[in-house]
Structure 1
Amino acid sequence: MKKIFSMFALSAVAITAVSCSDDDKPAPSEQNQLLGKWSYMEELALDENGNVVSTYSDDNGECPYDTFEFKNNGILQNIDYDFSDNASECENYITDGIWNVTGNTFKLALGEGEDFEDSFEIKKLTADAFEIQRPLTREEAADYELNVVALKFVFKKVK
């Protein structure tokens, strides 16, 4: 379950729609605020009222937290660390991707695909906190308690 966020991004069905309205123009302030490195901290499973049903926190042992670096022009680099009790044995795996913010929608794709594979609602975006949320797919629902309807992912800015 440690790599759940990466698996979501790689296996999710595209749920974005194409539109030509002015509302779909990228929001420059949100784009700029997201630039930089962010550590993936936890996944929150939510019920229909937005209450936290369960929490999954990333435990990498002595290794760094997994990071997502949002670069200019929608370029993304995900560094995923395996768990190790010995800091000198920490191995990382780098996956490139793309990202975009339009209004309060955050889209990303990891891996070889050029189309956005996952779409999230931005719940919080400050100088040091980033939280995104999306509904569970039918396939994912089997892995959670019956009352879980959405997942929220929490990131912290790397200083």
Structure 2
Amino acid sequence: MKKIFSMLALSAIAVTVASCSDDDKSAPSEQNQLVGKWDYIEELALDANGNVVSTYSDDNGVCPHDTFEFKSGGILQNIDYNRSNNASECSGDTINGIWNVTGNTFKLALGEGEDFEDSFEIKKLTADAFEIQRPLTREEAEDYELNVVALKFVFKKVK
């Protein structure tokens, strides 16, 4: 199940950059702000009014949070850590991908494919916080309560 959430989180990183007005920063500024390493903190399941219905927090025991490193040129490297209570047993699987910000859309693809797999809306992007959101697919909706319509993914910048 943890792998599913990590894959969803990666997809979530493929997000739409929300803008409030025409004078907001252009996509290159958002891309530059996103470049760096981010910890995946939690997934929030939201109802139609934007209320949190449930929360999934990434619990890796003593191992690090799963990380997403957004590199310049649209390169993504995700390290999906296994859960362990013994620090010497912490290991992670590396998943490579690509990302792109165009206007209000953040897109992501995992693996070697050239096509972007998912799009998200960026709800927050600051120097140390990154939140993205997207509606549930029909397949995903089967795993959630009936009133859940969207997922929000929360990341924190690694210092």
* TM-score scaled by length of structure 2: 0.87
Report the residue type matching 1:67 in the other structure.
Answer: T
Matched with 1:62 is 62
TM-superposed CA distance for 1:78, in Å, is 0.3
CA offsets 1:58-115 (integer angstroms, 9 cap, x no match): 0000100000000010000000000000000001100100001112221101112111
Matched with 1:94 is 94
Inter-partner Cα distance in structure 1 for 2:11 and 2:28: 28
Q: Which runs of 5+ in 1 are unaligned?
A: 13-25
Indicate conservation of the 8 Å contact 2:9/2:40, yes or no: no
Matched with 2:122 is 122
Matched with 2:32 is 32
Report the residue type matching 1:32 in the other structure.
Answer: N
Indicate conservation of the 8 Å contact 1:9/1:108, yes or no: no
Q: Between 103-112 and 63-72, report the one with greater CA deviation.
A: 103-112
Matched with 1:136 is 136
TM-superposed CA distance for 1:2, in Å, is 1.9
Indicate conservation of the 8 Å contact 2:128/2:157, yes or no: yes
Secondary structure of the structure 2 residue equivalent to 1:39: strand
Question: Among the aligned pairs, what percent are the same residue?
Answer: 86
Report the residue type matching 1:53 in the other structure.
Answer: V
Report the residue type matching 1:82 in the other structure.
Answer: N
Indicate conservation of the 8 Å contact 2:45/2:148, yes or no: yes
Matched with 2:41 is 41
What is the aligned residue count?
Answer: 147
Task: Indicate the structure whose relative CO is greater, using CA pairs within 8 Å and at least 6 residues apart.
Answer: 2
CA RMSD of aligned residues (A): 1.9
